[in-house]
């Protein structure tokens, strides 16, 4: 088995890796690091949680160990789809570059431009950024990309989902043609393949797992949920989630709960806290400082349940997540793989439970088609919802039938005129008047209206 010491890394980088407690590279690291150190373009395809970040971090640091950056001209560039992933990549650089005199800058939203410009002006060896914030600095004239020697695109398929591909193509055009490109993705959509064919030069292709597969260490299951009434669907679904959490008992040390919409993230988190669960929300509309505090609390085991949108589905390296709950089936099947990839990392066991509602059947079928596996069904922990509803409806129909039979059997109460014995239909209350006066037109009733029908016929 290959060890890090056999990969020709810079000795100072290797020392930092050993200090971090790593001896054996993962398959994607073993396949990507050697060609990257040779200066070749790399196309890495691997499922989430396989160590892709170190696959480009370690060779980049080794290549950048010599040299110095100039003001506003970074020597390398790492593009990430989300702030959280960019921050995690920055932490990896801090870990592995502790023995090197290299500088870095993190360009993400939620931080003032002025603070970031001060760092850029000093010159940085490694620039880690989200595409939007990077282009903002470039358009302000604060950034020059003509000296980029190594460019990394991380989670390229997520870039595609978030609509960043035009920005990525533009950034490629701003960097030198002679740059080295390291391109990583979990899946290879046609648009991603087009970009790699356009901007990568004879890349070394490393594919360590079938595209869009989930780790074998993750136990998957699904609850086929049916609501009793449409107006109670959301509350009953949250009740199912609480029962699932309770059912895991002490096996659940912490968990990420994924919702499709930001509003549902907030509602679900508030509902869990209302019932006494230790939960907090994270999504793209929250302030960056709030998101950072929440993630740190979850990473440090100070928070048990993290309710998240797909902003947290990619790249968050929290190795000890025991469970993932899909409160909603994701609209894109690929997102299912990335969501459940938050658990079962680094060879650990994990568990992923999905709640599939009546309107999710099509999306869930797409998930099973993508992973080429039938996900085991488990019983609804709150099975009485629909059963009680069916019993209630049946009893209601029975009561209505009984009432109708009683009404048919009992004689009808009708009103009769004093001169006639023939029964008449009941009259409405507003028609039961003793006087014959016209109501509603007052004293200005025209005479032709007051004229009786017999009088009109006679005339």
What share of the chain in percent tops pLDDT 70? 80
What pLDDT does residue 212 have?
62
Find, among 59, 57, 51, 61, the residue nearest to 34 by Cα. 59
Looking at the domain assignment, is residue 416 inside a domain?
A: no
- Asked if 151 and 290 sit in the same domain, the reply is no
- Asked if 196 and 222 sit in the same domain, the reply is no
> Could you tell me the residue range of the domain that residue 252 belongs to?
218-381
Which residues, 6+ apart, have CB-to-CB distance to 351 below 8 Å? 218, 219, 220, 221, 248, 251, 322, 323, 324, 343
Q: Find the angle CA(271)-CA(274)-CA(277) to the nearest 5 degrees.
A: 90
What pLDDT does residue 320 have?
86
Q: What are phi and psi of 358, to 5 degrees?
A: -60, -30
Distance CA 40, CA 33 (A): 10
What share of the chain in percent tops pLDDT 90? 54
pLDDT band for 312, please (50, 70, 90 cuts): low
Q: Is the Cβ–Cβ distance between 280 and 307 less than 8 Å?
A: yes
Please give the average per-residue pLDDT across 204-210, as a whole number.
82
pTM beyond 0.75: no
pLDDT over 60 at 409, yes or no: no
> How many domains does the chain fold into?
2
pLDDT over 50 at 413, yes or no: no
Domain boundary among 335, 358, 381: 381
**pLDDT tens track for 57-78:** 999 999 998 888 888 999 999 9
- Asked if 279 and 135 sit in the same domain, the reply is no
pLDDT band for 418, please (50, 70, 90 cuts): very low
pLDDT over 70 at 452, yes or no: no
- Asked if 174 and 239 sit in the same domain, the reply is no
The CATH number of whichever domain residue 9 belongs to comes to 3.40.50.300
Looking at per-residue confidence, does 280 or 286 come out higher? 280
Looking at the domain assignment, is residue 322 inside a domain?
A: yes
- Asked if 201 and 231 sit in the same domain, the reply is no
Residue 73, classified by CB atoms within 10 Å of its CB into exposed (0-12), middle (13-18) or buried (19+), is middle
- Asked if 83 and 112 sit in the same domain, the reply is yes
Torsion 176-177-180-185 (CA) sign: positive
- Asked if 83 and 165 sit in the same domain, the reply is yes
| Lowest model confidence (mean pLDDT) among 48-62, 233-247, 366-380, 394-408 | 394-408
- Asked if 237 and 198 sit in the same domain, the reply is no
- Asked if 281 and 202 sit in the same domain, the reply is no
- Asked if 184 and 77 sit in the same domain, the reply is yes
Domain boundary among 163, 185, 207: 207
Looking at the domain assignment, is residue 186 inside a domain?
A: yes
Domain boundary among 159, 184, 207: 207
Distance CA 127, CA 147 (A): 12
pLDDT over 60 at 18, yes or no: yes
What pLDDT does residue 41 have?
97
- Asked if 184 and 227 sit in the same domain, the reply is no
> How many other β-carbons are positioned within 10 Å of the β-carbon of residue 434?
5
Distance CA 51, CA 150 (A): 19
- Asked if 225 and 296 sit in the same domain, the reply is yes
Mean pLDDT of the chain: 84
What pLDDT does residue 441 have?
56
């Amino acid at each position: 088995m290959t060890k890090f010491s056999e990969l020709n890394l810079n000795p100072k980088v290797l020392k930092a890796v050993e200090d971090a407690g790593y001896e054996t590279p993962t398959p994607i690291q073993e396949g990507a690091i050697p060609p990257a150190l040779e200066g070749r373009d790399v196309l890495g395809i691997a499922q989430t949680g396989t160590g892709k970040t170190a696959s480009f971090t370690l060779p980049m640091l080794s290549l950048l160990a010599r040299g110095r950056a100039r003001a506003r001209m970074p020597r390398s560039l790492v593009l990430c789809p989300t702030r959280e992933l960019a921050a995690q990549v920055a932490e990896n650089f801090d870990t592995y570059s502790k023995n090197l005199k290299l500088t870095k800058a993190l360009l993400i939203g939620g931080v003032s431009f002025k603070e970031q410009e001060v760092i850029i002006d000093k010159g940085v060896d490694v620039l880690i950024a989200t595409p939007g914030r990077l282009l903002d600095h470039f358009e302000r004239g604060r950034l020059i990309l003509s000296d980029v020697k190594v460019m990394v695109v991380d989670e390229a398929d997520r870039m595609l989902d978030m609509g960043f591909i035009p920005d990525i193509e533009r950034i490629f055009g701003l960097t030198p043609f002679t740059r080295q490109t390291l391109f990583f993705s979990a899946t290879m959509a046609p648009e991603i393949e087009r970009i790699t064919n356009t901007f990568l030069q004879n890349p070394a292709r490393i594919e360590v797992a079938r595209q869009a597969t989930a780790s074998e260490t993750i136990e998957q299951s699904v609850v086929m949920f049916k609501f009793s009434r449409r107006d109670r669907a959301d509350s009953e679904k949250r009740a199912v989630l609480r029962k699932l959490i309770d059912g895991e008992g002490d096996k659940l040390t912490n968990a990420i709960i994924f919702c499709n919409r930001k509003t549902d993230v907030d509602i679900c988190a508030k509902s869990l806290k209302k019932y006494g669960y230790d939960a907090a929300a994270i999504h793209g509309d929250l302030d960056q400082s709030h998101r950072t505090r929440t993630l740190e609390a979850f990473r440090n085991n100070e928070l048990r349940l993290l309710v998240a949108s797909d902003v947290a589905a990619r790249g968050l390296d929290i190795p000890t997540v025991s469970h993932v709950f899909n409160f909603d089936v994701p609209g894109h099947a690929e997102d299912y793989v990335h969501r459940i990839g938050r658990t079962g990392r680094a060879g650990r066991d994990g568990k992923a439970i999905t709640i599939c509602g009546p309107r999710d059947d099509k999306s869930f079928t797409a998930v099973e088609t993508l992973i080429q596996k039938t996900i085991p069904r488990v019983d609804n922990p709150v099975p009485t919802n629909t059963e009680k509803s069916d019993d209630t409806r049946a009893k209601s129909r029975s009561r209505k039938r009984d009432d109708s039979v009683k009404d048919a059997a009992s004689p009808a109460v009708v009103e009769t005129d004093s001169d006639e014995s023939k029964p008449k239909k009941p009259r409405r209350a507003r028609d039961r008047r003793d006087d014959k006066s016209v109501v509603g037109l007052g004293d200005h009733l025209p005479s032709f209206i007051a004229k009786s029908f017999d009088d009109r016929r006679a005339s």
